Amino acid sequence: MVSHGTEADPIFRYANAAALALWQMDWPSFTQLPSRRSAEADPDIQSNRSALLAAALTQGHVADYQGIRISAKGRRFRISNTILWTVTDAMGQKHGQAALIGSVTPL
């Protein structure tokens, strides 16, 4: 599980131990990482990621997402069966987005 904030270029705010291991990062490094950098800079990959985030923002959540990501050490992997949702408080204020990754396939 990971989550990022609402900045113009959102920064990760949270990662559980499984996500930290997957991205091969420690907590201080991960929580300073712009979430766009969790994926390769390839325009198609970034476009796919941006569309996912926009859809979740509009719809509240997206289920069964899959996409390619990259670790800090350059290891590529596909996430799938992923649920992405917009994090809101009781007043409806948006605080970011979170993802629960269902499965990972090394590439």
Of 1, 12, 10, nearest to 79 by C-alpha is 1
- The chain-wide mean pLDDT, for the chain, equals 95
pTM: 0.90
**How confident is the model over 18-66, as pLDDT tens digits?**
999 999 999 999 999 999 999 999 999 999 889 989 999 899 899 989 9
Domains of the chain and any CATH numbers: 2-106 (3.30.450.20)
Owner of token pair 């949702």: 85
The residues that bridge with 82 in the sheet, in sequence order, are: 65
| Predicted confidence band of residue 77 (pLDDT cuts 50, 70, 90) | very high
Instruction: For residues 75-103, give the mean pLDDT.
Output: 96
Given this model, what pLDDT does residue 27 score? 98
For 21, 37, 94, the CA distances from 57, given in Å and listed in that order, are 27, 19, 9
Per cent of the chain over pLDDT 70 is: 100
Backbone angles phi, psi at 59, to 5 degrees: -90, -15
